[in-house]
Structure 1
Amino acid sequence: MAERAHGGTAVNRAAAVAAAASRLSRAGTERSPCAPVRDLLGTTDIAAAYEVQQRLAQRKLDLGARVVGRKIGLTSAAVQRQLGVDRPDFGILFEDMDMSGRATAVPSARLLQPRVEAEIAFVLGEDLDAADLDLKRVRGAVDHARAALEIVDSRIAGWDITITDTVADNASSGLFVLGAEQVTLDGFEPRDATMTMTLDGSEASTGNGAACLGDPLEALLWLARAAREFGEPLRAGQVVLSGALGPLVPVGPGAVVHAEISGLGSVSATFTGTK
């Protein structure tokens, strides 16, 4: 049965989705990066890529995993340039991805090709399922913000990705770490935040809130609308990683990453293993 995509149109779409999910699942299970899945999905059928993402997520849910939030990816122009894509995407955060409180022992063995980016995390106090979502409503739904490190990872060899590759791969999700300080939006303006991230003590990335779709709250609004359209609205209590404030940085075993975000404090992660 033909499973390849030609000119962006799959000969057998259902078979292509199943084959892409199988390839990515095997890469994760065997701890060995795989070829891109755009040979199956094409580079324009983003809906099919989200079907792959949901299929893989359902496998985790069937095994007892619990969803704790979402991540927004590709919000920074710098990161888009790094990865060769041109639009945001989103992925699912599961409970076992949260390394908060374990910042001295982020397990490198769970990762294939990790890179780290500093972000603003929003923790929701209200559901975002209304049909008339706007910036005011989204802002009011945020209980608090926290500094965060997202440890992105790719099951695709060499990070050789297009938008359909990364969407299918749960938006290249890996792990995440939340800072301890919780700040309400009464006295904190996300778009004005500045960020500095160091790797092993040396400055590795800088940026600001405006680098995240112009305002991390605009990124949250984009996600809230997208999640509702996909039938899985954002819910109270969920964590949203709003997107990179600056360029992402490759890391390896033994790496020590520390980020300072003005108004939110700091967040750190040390990776297990030796260099």
Structure 2
Amino acid sequence: MALPQTRIVSLGDELYEALRARRTIAPLSDRIDGIDIDDAYNISLHFLHRRTASGEKLIGKKIGVTSKPVQDMLGVHQPDFGFLTDRMQVKDGAVISITGSGLIQPRAEGEIAFVLKKDLKGTTVTEDQVLDATDYVAPCFEIVDSRIDDWKIRIQDTVADNASCGVFVVGGDRVAPHALDLAAVQMQITQNGAHVASGTGAAVQGHPATAVAWLANTLGRYGIPFLKGDIILSGSLAPLLPAIPGDRFHMTLAGIGDASIGFEA
């Protein structure tokens, strides 16, 4: 049985207030018997409504928990999905304040971002349609964050919590999606100058476009289209990397380009 709308609203409000206060809350899945993905999605929509009502602009969507290393790390064994707003995007190379940007327990992940040149709608979107609708791909750091205590999440918790998204950086390098084999793209990440992670495009459901098609179709079932100009984050190519003040991360996607982000208190 679906949660009543009053409960959906109160839980979305709770997550929004946790975001603004930089605090965590107990897992929803521990507190609410029978909460399901549809409930979680509706909570996330109210969470998003609170953000857009405060002046944030919706600029894209994201898929997360797509790779086995990330699924194993978090104990969540299916992808999550959420929304990106303009206040979540920071400039490539920026040093951001963890407290000032509202982050609580951030972790960095390296991804391939897709930027669309036309809409994608429906529930039967294919990988080829994703590639044809994409203007360019770019290197991306997503800084995931959780409003749930100690990252103790199940799929319902992370979907309700906007797919555990904090902020993101899209690098300035742009490549046409057909210019290279995205599944074979090699990623390298350094943290404070030391190599800490590597991965390939195949880490996300075999091909990044497969992950993006899954997201398009999943959101399509809720009547949410991909729109021209949307930024779509396709999922991490390597395990998440905890971030603390003083850290600086740099990533290289072979054949695509670079992105970086730093942190201060």
TM over 0.5: yes
**C-alpha deviation, 1:189, in angstroms:** 1.6
Q: Which residue does 1:234 correspond to in 2?
A: 226
Task: Check 1:39–1:131 CA distance in 2 against 1; reply closer, same or farther (3 A cut).
Answer: closer
| Closer/same/farther in 2, CA of residues 244 and 131 from structure 1, 3 Å limit | closer
Residue 111 of structure 2 is aligned to residue 123 of structure 1: no
From 248, 261, 272, the counterpart of 2:253: 261
How do 1:32-43 and structure 2 match up within 5 A? 32-42=23-33
Between Structure 1 and Structure 2, how many residues are aligned? 263
Q: 1:180 aligns with which of 161, 172, 177?
A: 172
Secondary structure at the aligned position of 1:258 is classed as strand
Alignment match of 1:18 (pick from 2, 9, 25): 9
Deviation of residue 22 (structure 1)?
2.9
Q: Please list the CA deviations of residues 38-96 of structure 1 after superposition, one character each: whole Å capped at 9, or x if unmatched.
A: 13444661000001000010111122211110111111110000000110111100001
CA 1:37–1:161: 2 relative to 1, 3 Å: same
1:192 alignment partner AA: A
User: Mapping of 1:99-118 within 5 angstroms?
Assistant: 99-101=90-92, 103-109=93-99, 110-118=102-110
Post-superposition shift, 1:107? 2.4
Read off the aligned partner of 2:94 and give its amino acid letter: T
Alpha carbons of structure 1 residues 174 and 131: separation in structure 2 relative to 1, 3 Å = closer
Partner amino acid for 1:105? V
Percentage of matched positions with identical amino acids? 38
Counterpart AA for 1:69: G
Tell whether the 8 Å contact from 1:19 to 1:40 is kept in structure 2 after alignment: no
**What is aligned with 1:59?**
50
Partner of 1:48: 39
Give the conservation status (yes or no) of the 8 Å contact 2:13–2:50. no
Question: 2:144 pairs with 115, 128, 152, which one?
Answer: 152
- Contact map agreement 1:79 1:247 (CA 8 A) in 2: yes
Please say if 1:87 is aligned against 2:73: no
User: How far apart in 1 are the matches of 2:94 and 2:44?
Assistant: 30
Shift of 1:157: 1.5
| Match of residue 77 from structure 1 | 68
Q: For the residues of structure 2 that align with 1:263 and 1:246, how far apart are their CA atoms?
A: 18
- Whole-angstrom CA distance in 1 between matches of 2:124 and 2:170: 30
Distance 1:132 1:150 in 2: 27
Aligned-residue offset at 1:15: 4.1
Is the partner of 2:47 in helix, strand or coil?
Answer: helix
- Long gaps (5+) in structure 1: 1-8
Matched, 1:214 2:176: no
Q: CA deviation at 1:196?
A: 1.1
Return 5+ residue gaps in structure 2 as ranges. Answer: none
**CA distance in structure 1 between the aligned counterparts of 2:34 and 2:244, rounded to whole angstroms:** 30
Partner of 2:181: 189
Cα distance in 2 for residues equivalent to 1:130 and 1:36: 32
TM-score (norm 1): 0.91
1:134 and 1:221 in contact (8 A); partners too: yes
> CA RMSD, aligned part only?
1.6
Mapped contact 1:43–1:163 kept (Cα < 8 A): no
Deviates more, 1:194-203 or 1:20-29: 20-29
Question: For residue 59 of structure 2, what is the aligned residue in structure 1?
Answer: 68
Contact 2:64–2:81 (CA<8 Å) still a contact in 1?
yes
